[in-house]
Structure 1
């Protein structure tokens, strides 16, 4: 049952659905150089208002290509690019053009508020993906999908108030994301200063200029600067050793299998299986504090320390389990893994014809030289970096809480379960 004053309709019934156009790259000088009109691509869509775009197009592009201008307030939906991109949204804040992978919805502003429609689409992005998965080989959506997309509309004043309420949460989340970005930069600078090494790409979502490799891979030539005063240049084999604690699998016993996330994302539980369900019979116990390296994913930064709660879990021989003689604190090694030099030595210690099929050779990697400070200095570095990392993690956790709270509020507001209060002058139909 619809809330009082609400109605069900489709996007086609509240606006004109149009397609974007893409200028020919061969005409780069005429169509892009010195451009003055925003040209929106899928990656410019952030499920929010479109403030800036990577590229601008020229008047010549509008005159001589399929591109056209759309007015401010046009709602945009990404149609191509796989499940990670279809359903991305945006609202033009100024007149601009969009590429052919985007549908532009010019709303009847007497029926629908652009920001309300944006929030509705963001709330129901899973529906786009179900369209894409249900009937086509490639996960794309069509103009017909956009036209028939269902939407529930309250009266226009309530739409605007709903959009304002949800946008307030978006603003709070954006401010926290800006703070996180700032703290992350500070963290990277502190890491470089304490380790005397440049940091690695922070994540798989890092910069795209990486020699054609995924952002999390650092293939370059490892270059170790001179050892700082008091530090010693050594190969890690002097203090690290690969350990093996074989498991004799019992068919009816349950075992915890762990995995290591890319980009130094940590060691976590993958699944719990009985001995009879484990397909790889060669398994090894890990202990809390072990340094774990995924031999197939270390080129993407997959390494970390086994946490206390996973003590006694198991891994296959596709993982290297390292211990120290006590002269290298493994928590310091974990922070050392955040450096570009560490990541590059891992790449050069791996063999294979394709980056996704490379295998890490532990014995080769342990021969690389590293600059290692005395143990008391290592412990102090760990203390400083632990404190800084916790600040970053607290901000990230706060962002997740805000997202969850916004999602709960959105679910209530966009179904009419909770209603916004309107001034008396805005309550008339």
Structure 2
């Protein structure tokens, strides 16, 4: 389909405007203005002499939630040339942060002005022209982001969006100010619901993690306790429970191993190659965008082929993420970044997943991990991780209770996904005027 919109395709009361290389329809009464007429780029603020100031590192912006996870503080002389106030939007200008959507709305700033990474652009609403939250949502519009990404310059891996492109180089659709505010209100309401759902998920996860110790007492009463070591950590467990190395609880025919080192090009008719992000919390494989390898390579790495029901541990990059696969997954293999564990009949895979996901085991995995820039967990070290091993009947009882909590978490995740899909649709429809809002 052509990028250009034929006049006959336009709804009555709409006109076509350019946003980068694309033409999009917007309402007749909306303006289409140069970016710098609607939004001030990198405003110059007066900085008080007294400090310290709130400082925003790039890592502090969560690219999925587009929230600020933490602030640091710096004295004035240690701050960068990037300054902002409450109501501004920060927009990452360097790859891969731009592509990943590191964008955040500045609020709850604890100092009059704040500073941040020089890799942020600062968008400030022009008084009487743009609403501050509308600016934030406009910067999230897929067409706007695509334009900025297409205009990046520099060497591979260090490309940046140049500031000059915002000075007459980009046009943006602009509704009347009352409509901007109403659009921002609607999208903010959805964002608040997503945030509330995140909090419920976080609290339910904390409940799940805290349940293990409570279950020791409630499901297994009248049992003495003994002190035992988990690496450098000392814990109390029931006297009749055992501690075994993970390798001793793994099936001999399917040794603990990592997967394919060099997967090669995507083979559309090939075998799915799993990374940790390709498996959801229910153990289902997300097949839409998964990389596939040739059947020959799959056979070459027969050692890491999957049968279903295994526990996968991320051992490269983000170390210690744990998932359990469903029993029926079809043919699949794993990447170099994953290790496969195939429990014996003495170890419930659900129990292993819950154990390795607890804080003490995550801390233990950190102890075993090496590397500062890209952490890794050696397979030999993984095999030697000591696993708390109750009798299988008790593993099953505890896992059943924890599975109930897991189902609650999954329900909230599905609710969050629905809200995120709703937001994406509203963002597109409201910011292009496809769906109009009442401002009465």
TM-score by length of 1: 0.70
Pick closer, same or farther for the CA change 1:365–1:413 going to 2, 3 Å. closer
Q: Report deviation, 1:115.
A: 1.4
**2:187 equivalent in structure 1:** 166
Q: What is the CA–CA distance in structure 2 between the aligned matches of 1:352 and 1:74, rounded to whole Å?
A: 37
Which among 100, 103, 113 is matched to residue 88 of structure 1?
103
Q: What is the CA–CA distance in structure 2 between the aligned matches of 1:50 and 1:302, rounded to whole Å?
A: 22
Root-mean-square deviation over aligned CA pairs: 4.3
Which among 27, 31, 39 is matched to residue 3 of structure 1?
27
1:332 aligns with 2:364: no
Q: What is the CA–CA distance in structure 2 between the aligned matches of 1:78 and 1:303, rounded to whole Å?
A: 30
**1:184 equivalent in structure 2:** 205
**1:290 equivalent in structure 2:** 310
1:406 aligns with 2:426: no
Do the aligned partners of 2:272 and 2:331 also contact (CA within 8 Å) in 1?
A: no
What does 1:357-396 correspond to in 2, within 5 Å?
Answer: 359-361=378-380, 366=383, 369-396=386-413
SS of 1:378's partner is helix
Aligned length: 375
Q: What is the CA–CA distance in structure 1 between the aligned matches of 2:393 and 2:433, rounded to whole Å?
A: 60
Do the aligned partners of 2:83 and 2:114 also contact (CA within 8 Å) in 1?
A: yes
1:225 aligns with 2:239: no
Do the aligned partners of 2:60 and 2:68 also contact (CA within 8 Å) in 1?
A: no
- Structure 1 residue runs of 5 or longer lacking an equivalent are 24-29, 197-219, 246-253, 424-429
Deviations 1:183-241 (A, max 9, x none): 22222222454479xxxxxxxxxxxxxxxxxxxxxxx9543524323322344555532
TM-score by length of 2: 0.69
Pick closer, same or farther for the CA change 1:243–1:298 going to 2, 3 Å. farther
Q: Report deviation, 1:372.
A: 1.6
Q: Report deviation, 1:386.
A: 0.6
Pick closer, same or farther for the CA change 1:9–1:176 going to 2, 3 Å. same
Do the aligned partners of 1:287 and 1:312 also contact (CA within 8 Å) in 2?
A: yes
Pick closer, same or farther for the CA change 1:226–1:272 going to 2, 3 Å. same
Q: What is the CA–CA distance in structure 1 between the aligned matches of 2:280 and 2:323, rounded to whole Å?
A: 6
SS of 1:327's partner is coil
Deviations 1:32-77 (A, max 9, x none): 5xx3x5444445656999999724566xx38x97769756544433
Do the aligned partners of 1:20 and 1:101 also contact (CA within 8 Å) in 2?
A: no
Pick closer, same or farther for the CA change 1:419–1:224 going to 2, 3 Å. same
Q: What is the CA–CA distance in structure 2 between the aligned matches of 1:282 and 1:103, rounded to whole Å?
A: 46
Q: Report deviation, 1:9.
A: 1.2
